[in-house]
């Protein structure tokens, strides 16, 4: 009896193995529900497009690539569950995810399961300071972003600056990252506080900030709040310039704030592909528009796409799906000059090397323009 059971189990296991080897499985952990659901939906679209494209060209190592998508719900607890589910499905690498605190909950799970993880939107510094062997990210870190933001603020010649964040891992981190260097340069931070995200009325915050008399407001939170802040500042007739971190931009921002209120708003961000001259980016944009009807609205979904391309290129060039070899290859040899968002290579911590951030400003037509 025992023997038959063992035999049956072995059969199941073997067929399972055989099945698993039919395809190269790449996971995507994305916020398909919850407050960042719009980001997640686009990440999925980008990866499905790229996977279909790769399969049309013959796949990887002679096999088709299969995308396994799981939902992190924009929430740390849901993400831990999603990560555990993904590890049981035989994925060789995982792309994702967006929020830093959400990624943080999944990092050690993937690391212990020896799965390469490439985050696309998690910019908090401490994520790559934990000596995790298999963690990478295609987005830059907040200290990088902070530097670019400080430079931009200095250039505006504002002497009194208000800094507003929303207490999330990312926004608070960036706000802290900007505050100290500004004070060192003799720029006064007259206001430093956090708003409560996901509300509609920020007039109380604005009224209080206005009382502090800043010449520039630097907001490190997300775009829906940025839209409301801009719109309500205009309704209050307060004409202070606003600047934002990379989460304040989304193509929807113009709609949310209105063209007039968004004029003059500036922000630092990794560039959207439409601002990149590369052929790959243009081809990708055209394919995306053809399949889904409009261009991607967030730079992070494109960075997820880059994560997928990195994994695919590494597997193809290192000719293996072994996590140790892949991670080693990515850290030491990998360099892609033709990624969707520019050149990609990684340092020993798994962080992307090079300056990715750019400084943008809205003009009166509601279009963004690259600033020098």
The binding site for other proteins (CB under 8 A) comprises: 33-35, 37-38, 40-41, 167, 193-196, 198-201, 203-205, 207-208, 211, 224, 227-228, 231-232, 234-237, 252, 255-256, 258
Of 108 and 251, the one with the shorter C-beta distance to other proteins is 251
- Indicate the angle between helix axes 299-318 and 37-56, nearest 10 degrees: 30
Q: Are 64 and 99 in contact (CB under 8 A)?
A: no
Q: How far is the CB of 264 from other proteins (least distance, A)?
A: 17
34 or 264: whose CB is closer to other proteins?
A: 34
CB-nearer residue toward other proteins: 256 or 287: 256
Nearer to other proteins among residue 2 and residue 201 (C-beta)? 201
Q: Which is nearer to other proteins, 262 or 340 (CB)?
A: 262
- Closer Cβ to other proteins, 41 or 113, answer by number: 41
Distance (Å, rounded) from C-alpha 33 to C-alpha 311?
A: 25
To other proteins, the closest distance from the beta carbon of 234 in angstroms equals 8
| Residue (20 or 41) nearer to other proteins, CB | 41
Give backbone dihedrals phi and psi of 352, rounded to 5 degrees, phi first: -70, 140
CB of 14 to other proteins, least distance (A): 40
Q: Token pair for residue 359?
A: 């400084």
* Least distance in angstroms from the C-beta of 37 to other proteins: 3
Q: Which of 160, 125, 156 is nearest to 140 (CA)?
A: 125
Lateral strand order in the sheet of 135-137:
64-71, 23-30, 93-95, 116-119, 135-137
**Nearest distance from C-beta of residue 236 to other proteins, angstroms:** 6
Closer by beta carbon to other proteins, 53 or else 295: 295
Nearer Cβ to other proteins (111/220): 220
CB of 212 to other proteins, least distance (A): 11
Report, in Å, the least distance between residue 209 CB and other proteins: 9
- Least Å distance, CB 161 to other proteins, is 16
For residue 68, the minimal CB distance to other proteins (Å) is: 21
Report the distance separating Cα 69 and Cα 47, nearest Å: 10
């Amino acid at each position: 009896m025992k023997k038959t059971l063992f035999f049956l189990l072995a059969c199941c296991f073997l067929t399972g193995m055989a099945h698993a080897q039919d395809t190269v499985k790449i996971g995507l952990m994305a916020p398909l529900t919850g407050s960042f659901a719009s980001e997640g939906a686009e990440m999925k679209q980008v990866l499905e497009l790229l996977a279909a494209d790769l399969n049309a060209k013959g796949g990887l190592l002679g096999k088709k690539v299969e995308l396994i998508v799981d939902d992190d719900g924009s929430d740390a607890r849901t993400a831990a569950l999603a990560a555990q589910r993904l590890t049981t499905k035989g994925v060789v690498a995982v792309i994702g995810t967006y929020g830093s605190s959400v990624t943080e909950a999944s990092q050690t799970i993937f690391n212990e399961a020896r799965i390469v993880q490439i985050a696309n939107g998690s910019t908090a510094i401490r994520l790559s300071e934990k000596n995790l062997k298999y963690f990478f990210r295609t987005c830059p870190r907040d200290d990088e972003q902070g530097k670019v933001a400080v430079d931009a603020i200095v250039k505006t010649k504002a002497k009194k600056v208000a800094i507003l964040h929303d207490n999330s891992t990312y926004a608070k981190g960036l706000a802290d990252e900007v505050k100290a260097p500004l004070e060192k340069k003799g720029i006064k931070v007259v206001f430093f506080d956090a708003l409560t995200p996901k509300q509609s009325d920020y007039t109380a915050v604005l009224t209080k900030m206005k009382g502090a008399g800043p010449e520039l407001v630097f907001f490190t939170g997300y775009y829906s709040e940025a839209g409301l802040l801009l719109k309500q500042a205009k309704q209050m007739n307060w004409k202070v310039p606003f600047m934002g971190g990379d989460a304040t931009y989304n193509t929807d921002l113009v709609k949310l704030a209105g063209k007039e209120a968004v004029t003059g708003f500036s922000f630092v961000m990794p560039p959207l592909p439409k601002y990149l001259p590369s052929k790959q980016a243009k081809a990708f944009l055209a394919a995306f528009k053809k399949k889904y009807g409009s261009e991607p609205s967030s730079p992070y979904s494109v960075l997820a796409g880059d994560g997928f391309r990195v994994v695919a290129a590494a597997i193809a060039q290192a000719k293996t799906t072994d996590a140790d070899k892949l991670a080693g290859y990515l850290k030491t040899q990998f360099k892609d000059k033709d990624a969707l968002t520019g050149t990609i290579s990684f340092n020993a911590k798994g962080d992307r090397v090079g300056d990715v951030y750019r400084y943008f400003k809205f003009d009166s037509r509601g279009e963004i323009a690259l600033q020098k």
